[in-house]
A and B are shown apart, each in its own frame.
Chain A
Amino acid sequence: MFYIHHTVCISPQNTFLEVDLEQLINCSENKLYAKDFPVDGIPTALLRRMGKAVKLGVASSLPLFKFYDKLDGIIIGTANGGMEDCIKFLNQIMQYEEGVLTPTNFVQSTPNAVASQLGFLSKNNGYNITHVHRGLSFENAIIDVGMLLEDYPDNKYLVGGIDEISTYNFNIDYLCGYVKKENINNNNLYNCNTEGSIAGEGVAMFVVNNNSVGATSKFRALETIHTTDEKELQAVFHKFLYDNLSENESIDLFLSGENGDRRYTSTCESIEAMVNVDVPVARYKHMSGEFRTASAFALWVSNYIIQIQHIPTHMLKKNKQRKETNNIIIYNNYQGFQHSFMLISKNN
């Protein structure tokens, strides 16, 4: 579909500035907050108004803008982007009983605040969109950019996924049962046998185009489905493999979206069991935490693994890393009903 060139990731792990995935940074009270990041490139006049999600989006993209004179569009997936500001505004409504209220929280609360700030900062008049479909927000951003590049093969686009843990989001997620009731260490995430996962946040941005020169990897295919029926899900994955991998191609890594929630483990493992038994299997949500655009982190990590040809030990669930990691399948499962499969390959 398209080639991945520059990428940036700000996450709870060492993925920004100096990348080091060997060291696994631990969660605290079941939250994996993104590491602190510099905001010096952001004009203070704008910075002072930004909520965390917008800061994450802008801080991660500014380095990318330096490389490119002009990007042709900005496509963002975020399910909760701006939710913190949304709740702050809501608190104002309640506190002041719908009286005289300050507008900044309202303006910053719209999920498209990230994309629009990025458009403003890069003076970009091109296509600008925000996809907000919960656990498939980032996947729809990928579908969108894939279609754009078919129509405009000479263009370059910024595509990314972003979400933050805000106090309020976390409270709602906790009440929904998405977060474990007992505090755990993330290096023990998959052994708990309890419901819920740990909360995460972060941003992963990609500059993509149809030009293979200089690209680390090629994004080849994506399928999504809403289902709680394992058989139906297996049929979709079977077709995905059949349609997209030729007979002489092997899967060199299956990156699973297992998140330690025991309700979804068997589904994840049933999909995992559909690839050859000797295929290395790795997991990523102990690094990123669970959040609606965690699949963007998965794509970033896959691209990085392809680049350095090394899988951090703590990620591996089964089998050793192969001599060459060329083809990676990413499976994401959001709350047992939103699923995606992505195929990414080394650009030779």
Chain B
Amino acid sequence: METLELKQELKEKIIEFLNLIDVKPGDIKDDQPLFGEGLGLDSIDSIELIVLLDRHYGIKIKDPKEGRKILVDINTMVDFIEKNRTN
């Protein structure tokens, strides 16, 4: 899968998984911080995103703290997925 395609797919999956009402994929910039000021996600969302990575890309992250280093923005997530996905 092309990187651009993966970014689009990831945005759609994030919106669906986290039930982000009123957010469209086009609203999420690739370098916009996911947590804090940017998209405004919180600690429970970080756990949910770890589950998303497991269910959709077969990547297991055991420790949420490790997860936060990867879950910075779409770019870092896509980069990580491309390197580590198992499905």
Cα A103 to Cα B43 with chains together (Å): 11
Which residues from 93 to 130 on chain A have a C-beta closer than 8 Å to any C-beta of chain B? 100-104, 107
Contact A45 B48 (CB under 8 A): no
Contacts of B51 in A (CB 8 A): 100-102
Is A322 in contact with chain B by the CB < 8 A criterion? no
- B84 smallest CB distance to A (angstroms): 15
- How many residue pairs, one in A and one in B, have C-beta atoms under 8 Å apart? 28
Q: Which residue of A lies closest to B22 (CB)?
A: A44
Q: A24 at the A/B interface (Cβ < 8 Å)?
A: no
- The answer to whether A45 and B54 touch across the interface, beta carbons within 8 angstroms, is no
A48 with B48, Cβ < 8 A, contacts A100-B54, A100-B55, A100-B60 known: no
B21 touches A44 (CB 8 A): yes
Q: Which residues of B contact A48 (CB under 8 A)?
A: 18-21
Least distance between B85 CB and chain A CB atoms (Å): 15
B47 — which chain A residues lie within 8 A by C-beta?
Answer: 102-103
Assign chain A's interface to a size class: 10 to 19
- Distance of A178 Cα from B12 Cα, bound (Å): 42
Min Cβ gap A128→B in Å is 20
Chain A window 67-109, contacts with chain B (Cβ cutoff 8 Å), 1 for yes, 0 for no: 0000000000000000000000000000000001111100100
Shortest Cβ distance from B23 into A: residue: A44
Give B18-32 interface residues, CB cut-off 8 Å to A: 18-22
Taking a contact as CB atoms under 8 Å apart, the answer to whether B44 and A47 are in contact is: no
**Residue-by-residue, is A26-41 near B (CB-CB < 8 Å gives 1, otherwise 0)?**
0000000000000000
* Other-chain residue from B19, B50, B54 in contact with A49 (beta carbon distance below 8 A): B19
Q: Interface readout for B45-73 with A: 1 if CB under 8 Å, 0 if not?
A: 00110110011000010000000000000
Question: B40–A104 contact, CB under 8 A?
Answer: no
Contact for B48 among A44, A47, A104, CB less than 8 A = A104
Please give the distance in Å from A85's CB to the nearest CB on chain B. 12
Residues in A neighbouring B42, C-beta threshold 8 A: 45
Measured in the bound complex, the distance between the Cα atoms of B3 and A141 in whole Å is 55
* Complex CA–CA separation, A44 to B19 (angstroms): 10
| Bound Cα distance from A49 to B47, whole angstroms | 14
A54 to chain B, nearest CB (A): 13
Q: Tell me if B60 and A45 are in contact (CB < 8 A).
A: no
> Nearest chain-B residue to A100 (Cβ)?
B54
Asked whether B44 lies within 8 Å of A45 as measured between CB atoms, the reply is no
**Given contacts A48-B20, A48-B21, is CB(A107)–CB(B54) below 8 Å?**
no
Q: Which residues of B contact A104 (CB under 8 A)?
A: 44, 48
A179-225 CB contacts (< 8 Å) to partner B: none
Cross-chain contact A102 with B48 (CB below 8 angstroms): yes
Distance, CA A100 to CA B47, complexed state (A): 10
Contact B54 A47 (CB under 8 A): no
The answer to whether B21 and A107 touch across the interface, beta carbons within 8 angstroms, is no
A288 to B54, CA, bound (A): 44
Shortest beta-carbon distance from A108 to chain B in Å: 10
Residue pair B21, A103 in contact (C-beta under 8 Å): no
CB distance from A100 to the nearest CB of B (A): 5
CA distance A55 to B66 in the complex (A): 33
Q: Which residues does chain A contribute within 8 Å of B19, judged by CB atoms?
A: 48-49
What are 13 A-B residue pairs whose CB atoms fall within 8 Å in the complex? A44-B21, A44-B22, A45-B40, A45-B42, A48-B21, A49-B19, A100-B50, A100-B51, A100-B54, A101-B51, A102-B47, A103-B44, A103-B48
- Which 3 pairs show the lowest CB-CB distances between chains A and B? A48-B19, A100-B54, A102-B51
